[in-house]
Amino acid sequence: MLKKALKIVLAVLVVLLLGVAGAAVHIFNHPGLLPPGSYHPRALYCRFLGYHVHPWVEVDPTKEYTLKIWSARWPIFQDGYGYDDLIEEVIEEFQQTYANVDVEYVLLPLGEVEVAIEKAVENSTPPDICIAPFDPSLIESGLVVPINMFVCDEPREDIDATPAADFESSTLESVSIDDRFWAWPSWTAVGSWAGNAQILREVGIDVERVMLHGWSYEDVLTMVDALKERQIGVEERYRTYGLVLSTASTYTIDSLMEAAGSGVVFSQDGSLLWQGETLQSCLSFLKNIRTGKGFPEPVHMMDEKMLELFWTGRAAVIGPVGPGFLRHVRERQDRITKGTLFSGGREIEPVLLPVPHPIDSKICASITLHVATVFMRPEARGADAAHLAVRLAEALAGKEALWLARQLPVMPARTEDRERGFDHAVLDGATWSFLSGAASSGKMYHNLSTAIKEKERLSKEQVISPMMDEFWRGTVTPHEFDQRLSAYAEEISDN
């Protein structure tokens, strides 16, 4: 009798367990049937995979939350609408869904947010959201929130997640480390030089072809020689120069080494990458331009005259230039049209150009991906606050990208925004093709560890930048530069 009762109890338990398992599977496949919570099958699955922040974290509608945002203040105003207005608009829209969330934001000057967030993470005091260039070295802090669970493979109505197909595939790949997505991609800036298309065409350069397929050191040197040939007998003060490049810090050599496929000074194991043929070829290219009278004198101070020579029609190519160059072009043209700026009577046709590369290598565009990164601050804030931060970060990333694309332009990470974000009356087809192609296939160079990043920063600051100043002055040869940098790298590796 007891055995029979046990069999019945066992059978009932099995049926109950099968029922519970079946219900769990059904809810897992139709997650909208159960409200978010710690015992939701999807929540249990996420925690099993190691994700504590996911779409099924329960947000308490009676609890007051405060989120903090850091970003750069872009000095752009269109009809009185600026970056602050953009941030506040996103916050207002977010609070329509989450009225119990207070949002504070700090906007830093351009170029300062990267250093600020690095120090804040080091001190375990980051904001909840930071919009800045992607920095994978921050991940090792353990404070960065992965967003995989908020991205789905295919669109689904019952899951509040963004389809991966909404993004240009290269942008998700750029924020992927160890099979996790570490930030919401916002927009991509393409490393470029700029040229006066009219001058370049006059000396035989197929500008549109260069924009689409790149150009080699030899192509540039041929342009310099052709320009010099055309100006025989022209007084120095009226000469047009082949290139006027930045001699400040390491900007020019950075862009050339990136285009040559060596965008970081040290590998992840700390060994020197800037050495040998690649480095000497890059520096020899610059030396040959100087020998061919392609730079204005004094060479070590030419960047001070860069824009002046460009806008007076006396520079064929300048660089490197940032994503705001085309906006500068547009604003200048508006002022000329309104009569508030004299054009100088010289016709200028500005275009963005790929950075030249070694003759035996293919074009390698350098890109910078700007993202919205979410941090889990050490104090007891909970996964619910981080969940809200992920949602707000996504909204910020998308809105910022679309707005900046219309202003600068840059390439939005979301595929649908790439076409509708641009004013094609300003952005011609060749420029569009150059930017979109480079953003999709370009390479982002970065250090994966804080130790290597600091090693590279100190090397540029203490050794490479001073040597570049000597190089521009003509007192250091490419071979000597290579030897001294190699000796420095060997010295610090021994210490």
> What's the pLDDT score for residue 360?
79
The half-sphere exposure of 338 on its side-chain side, counting CA atoms within 13 A, is 8
Give the count of beta carbons closer than 10 Å to the beta carbon of residue 204. Answer: 11
**pLDDT at position 62, please?**
93
Q: Residue 420 is which amino acid?
A: R
Task: Give SS3 for 366.
Answer: strand
> What mean pLDDT, rounded, does the chain reach?
88
Which element (helix H / strand E) includes 448? none
Report the CATH number of the 192-366+449-494 domain: 3.40.190.10
What is the DSSP pairing of strand 65-72 with strand 176-177? unpaired
Query: How far, in Å, CA of 102 to CA of 383, rounded?
Result: 17
Distances, alpha carbon 300 to alpha carbons 14, 436, 469, in Å: 82, 34, 7
CA separation (Å) from 6 to 1, 12, 17, 86? Answer: 9, 10, 16, 67
- Amino acid making up residue 79: D
pLDDT of residue 218: 96
- Range in 33-37, 217-221, 242-246 with the lowest mean pLDDT: 33-37
What's the rounded Cα separation, in Å, for the pair 446 and 345? 43
How far CA 17 is from CA of 42, 117, 382, in Å, comes to 18, 49, 32
Over the stretch 179-233, which tens digit does the pLDDT of each residue have? Answer: 999 999 999 999 999 999 999 999 999 999 999 999 999 999 999 999 999 988 8
**Tally of CA atoms within 13 A in the half-sphere of 421 that contains its CB:** 25
Q: Confidence class of residue 234 from pLDDT cuts 50, 70 and 90?
A: confident
Sign of CA dihedral 74, 75, 80, 85: positive
Burial pattern 295-306, b for ≥16 Cβ within 10 A else e, equals bbeebbebbebb
Architecture of domain 41-189+368-441: 3-Layer(aba) Sandwich (3.40)
Q: With residue 488 as reference, give the H or E element that holds it.
A: helix 478-494
Q: The dihedral of CA 198, 200, 206, 211: what is its sign?
A: negative
Strands 315-321 and 192-196 come out as antiparallel
This prediction has a pTM of 0.90
197: nearest Cα among 235, 166, 223: 223
More confident residue, 359 or 82: 82
Listed residue (452, 475, 487, 449) closest to 275, CA to CA: 487
Distance CA 315, CA 199 (A): 8
What distance in Å separates the CA atoms of residue 247 and residue 237, rounded to the nearest whole number? 21
CATH topology match: 41-189+368-441 vs 192-366+449-494: yes
Q: Rounded to the nearest 5 degrees, what angle is found at the Cα of 191, between the Cα atoms of 358 and 341? A: 120
Chain segment 128-181, per-residue pLDDT in tens: 999 999 999 999 999 999 999 999 887 666 678 899 999 998 999 999 999 999
pLDDT category at 423 given cuts 50, 70, 90 is: low
- d(CA 53, CA 382) in angstroms, rounded, equals 9
Sheet holding 367-374, edge to edge: 101-108, 65-72, 129-133, 367-374, 184-190, 411-412
Eight-state DSSP code of residue 162 = E
Collect all residues with Cβ–Cβ distance below 8 Å to 434 and sequence separation of at least 6: 190, 211, 212, 352, 353, 354
CA 408/CA 85 separation, integer angstroms: 17
**Is 263 strand, coil or helix?**
coil
pLDDT tens per residue across span 83-122: 999 999 999 999 999 999 999 999 999 989 999 999 999 9
Query: Omega of the bond prior to 409 within 30 degrees of 0, cis?
Result: yes
Please report which confidence band the pLDDT of residue 7 belongs to, taking 50, 70 and 90 as the band edges: low
Tokens 């353990």 identify what position?
Answer: 142
In the predicted structure, residue 21 carries a pLDDT above the cut 50: no
C-alpha to C-alpha distance for 164 and 167, rounded to whole angstroms = 6
Token readout for 215 is: 């150009």
pLDDT score of 25:
47
* H or E element, residue 398: helix 382-407
Tell me the C-alpha distance between 131 and 348, whole Å: 35
**14-23, 71-80, 306-315, 460-469: which has the highest mean pLDDT?**
460-469
Average pLDDT, stretch 228-243?
A: 90
The CA distance from 453 to 137, in Å, is 8
Residue 265 in tokens: 């000074």
pLDDT tens track for 249-291: 999 999 999 999 999 999 999 999 999 999 999 999 999 999 9
Q: How far is CA 271 from the centre of its chain?
A: 25
Judge contact between 430 and 212, C-beta under 8 A.
yes
Domain extents in the chain:
41-189+368-441, 192-366+449-494
